[in-house]
Amino acid sequence: MLALWIECFRMALRELRRHKTRSVLTAIGIIIGVSAVIVTVSVVQGAKISIEGDIARQGKNMIIIIGKPAARPGGVRGGSAVYTTLTEADARAIEEECDAVTLACPTGRFEFSAVTSVANWKVPVTGVGHNYTAIRTWSVSAGRDLEPRDIVLGNKVCLIGQTTRRELFGGRDPVNEVVRVAGVPLKIVGVLESKGVNPLGQDEDDTIVVPLPVLMRQMLGVDRPHAILCSAVADERVEEAVEQATALLRQRHRLGRGDEDDFTVTSLKEKIELARNTTNVMTLLMVCIAGVSLLVGGIGIMNIMLVAVSERTREIGIRMAIGATAGAINRQFLIEAAVISTAGGLIGIVLGVTHAHLIANGFGWQAQMPVWLVGGAFLFSTAVGVFFGWLPAKRAADLNPIEALRHD
Amino acid sequence: MKTDARPMIELEDLHKVYDSGFTRVHALRGLNASVAAGEYVAIMGASGSGKSTLLNILGCLDVPTRGAYRLDGRAVETLDRDELARLRNTHIGFIFQNFNLLHRSSALENVALPMVYAGRAQRVRRPAAEQALSRVGLADRMDHLPWQLSGGQQQRVAIARALVNQPRVLLADEPTGNLDSRTSEEIMQIVRELHEHQRLTVVLVSHDPGVASFAERVIALRDGQIIADQPTPRCGGPPIPDVRALAVAG
């Protein structure tokens, strides 16, 4: 029994070798389909990991609460130097009262010119409360971080990002140097490590971080932060933290049941899930499109096997006369079809993996090659051969030996 | 010449009817015959006499419409397609007028093929095939492809293939039809030797009286019926009738 299977396999390989050109052409549809699936899925998965990484680098379990413009006392609402609905007290309350939130930090942001004795540069300035670097998982590469007393006292100190440092100081160590921002002289106490470009395309390293009181009172003349950054206790509790913070703020801002939030809350986790869903849909789309190529390849196999059966009618008659059962003939042709498609699948996998790595390297990503992708492609290519080889194999097995022997 | 008591082949009121286009052809009309194990029989007849149909039934490639065919005691008319195939594999060896070798397989691979369908392993098949080829004098041509062999050599490969599974019956359909007279002679000698040494039952179909005379017994067919069943001249019988004369009504 096993001998028959092995022999069928050997005969199939022999037949393929005899018609090399024909076999390759037949397998091309499968080769293209499989390699296309592998390349596209791998690239999309790589994009997904890259995007998720970019988002996650913003901060750990981070939640961003952004205030909406509010009326100043005096009734004037403005666009720049926005007076928002959030207060520093809100941030303290969230940190203390929401148990799903570990840290909360009020922040404000505005673009100013930064000037030294020899250079100047327009840079986004972020004013921060306690724990900013912790929430943003952002360490200091030289000098020191801002300390609680800097924030409380509103000391005129700052941290500088790598890009801003380069623009203002070249290769020099900027620690203890003074830079004037909006007329306020700030002593640089630390340099932030590089964070790269964020998903919005902004250079995170182009920044100056000052204590919030310095930004708000001395530079902008307001006392409301633009946003509150929070860090949830754990990834699983991010949604809970969002709910708790929302409820607390609604209560503090005295919003009734029918009132809309006067702030927006988003978590990075949401963004990651959105990115994930989008890439999953893209993956599915790619697989479907490549699947069409596999379908066409399968039809090609069916066509060529029908031709083969027709060409080898006499041979089939001889085999039957010698004692081949209909099942043995069926099996032989089915295995031939499966061997073509599987060989095509293997070549497609090799080509696909190679190209996926080339493309990933071009983007600077790590090529993603999940086992399910390669294994699935292999199994599917075999299945295509079996499925599309079924009809020709049946035709071969149904031949009448006497008539087949008379065929030329 | 005669060996066992039980007949190898028994035909009882054998009928074969088939549809050919719009007409119904009654190819065999109630044949009765018995061939003993080890007998060497020639079947003769003009075209249309039913001899090919009879050969197909004897070879288990076809089943009778009515009546019985017993091969080595086994009732063939009751078997299904797969059982017939297995019977062909184990009990019957075929040789054909046009040799019917697989063109893209070597002589060795051709001879080994029946053993593949019998499920024998490669390590058994190869020596058996080599031995079969040696017995017909082709030990030095084992890896040749059919197009590299002469007609006579191809027929010898076919004979080796027919016998490799040690069948009960050797069926030969015009085995010398495509060979010149000298090669025909060689082939018929080989068949005769195999018959005598291995006590094979041989059924030969031919229109050539010279070829038929190698047998021990001649059965003549006309219009699907046996019109003569006699020993051949070398076994003490009358001269072999001319097939064309058989076709004339009389």
Contact between B117 and A323 (Cβ < 8 Å): yes
Across the beta sheet with B225-231, the strand order is B92-95, B169-173, B201-205, B40-45, B217-222, B225-231
pLDDT at A199 over 90: no
Q: B208 pLDDT exceeds 80?
A: yes
- Mean pLDDT over A67-71 rounds to 78
Q: What is the DSSP string of B196-226?
A: HHH--EEEEE-S-HHHHTTSSEEEEEETTEE
Work out the angle at residue B249's Cα, subtended by the Cα atoms of residues B243 and B250, and round it to the nearest 5 degrees.
95
- ipTM at complex level: 0.93
Q: Is A402 touching B (CB cutoff 8 A)?
A: yes
Closest to A56 in 3D by CA, of A225, A226, A276 = A276
Chain B residues closer than 8 Å to A317 by CB: 100
Closest chain B residue to A403, measured at CA? B61
Measure in Å the smallest separation between the Cα of B72 and chain A Cα atoms.
17
At residue B169, the 3 state secondary structure works out as strand
What is the C-alpha separation between A197 and A207, in angstroms, rounded? 12
Nearest CA in chain A to B83: A325
Place of tokens 């492609």: A377
pTM over 0.80? The answer is no
Question: What percentage of chain A has pLDDT greater than the value 90?
Answer: 34
* Minimum Cα–Cα distance from B89: chain A residue: A323
Q: Which residues pair with A127 in a beta bridge?
A: A108, A210
B9 touches B34 (CB < 8 A): yes
Q: State residue A72's pLDDT score.
A: 66
Structure tokens of B112?
């080994």
Residue B56's nearest CA partner among B38, B69, B40 is B69
**Which range is least confidently modeled, A80-89, A217-226, A252-261?**
A80-89
- Model confidence over B45-95: pLDDT tens digits? 988 888 999 999 999 999 999 999 999 999 998 899 999 999 999 999 999
Name the band, by pLDDT with cuts 50, 70 and 90, for residue A182: confident
Q: How high is the pLDDT of residue B250?
A: 43
A316-330 mean pLDDT? 95
Greatest mean pLDDT among A173-182, A390-399, B206-215, B229-238: A390-399
CA of A22, closest CA in chain B: separation in Å? 16
The larger pLDDT score, comparing residue A270 to residue A190, is at: A190
The more confident residue out of B128 and A78 is B128
Higher pLDDT, A3 or B85: B85
The residues near A285 (Cβ < 8 Å, ≥ 6 apart) are none
CB B99 within 8 A of CB B177: no
Of A285, A318, A289, A298, give the one whose Cα is nearest residue A390: A298
Q: What is the mean pLDDT of chain B?
A: 90
Quote the pLDDT of residue A198.
Answer: 80
Contact state of A402 with B120 under an 8 Å Cβ cutoff: no
DSSP code of residue B76: G
Q: Is a pLDDT exceeding 60 seen at residue A183?
A: yes
Query: CA distances (Å), A316 to each of A15, A329, B100, in order?
Result: 14, 7, 11
Least confident of A70-74, A177-181, B89-93, B224-228: A70-74
Q: Which of A315, A319, A401 faces B61 most closely, judged by CB atoms?
A: A401
What is the rounded CA–CA span in Å between residue B175 and residue B153?
12
Q: Does residue A109 carry a pLDDT above 50? A: yes
Residues of chain B in contact with residue A405, where contact means CB-CB under 8 angstroms, are: 96, 100
* Average pLDDT taken over every residue of chain A: 88
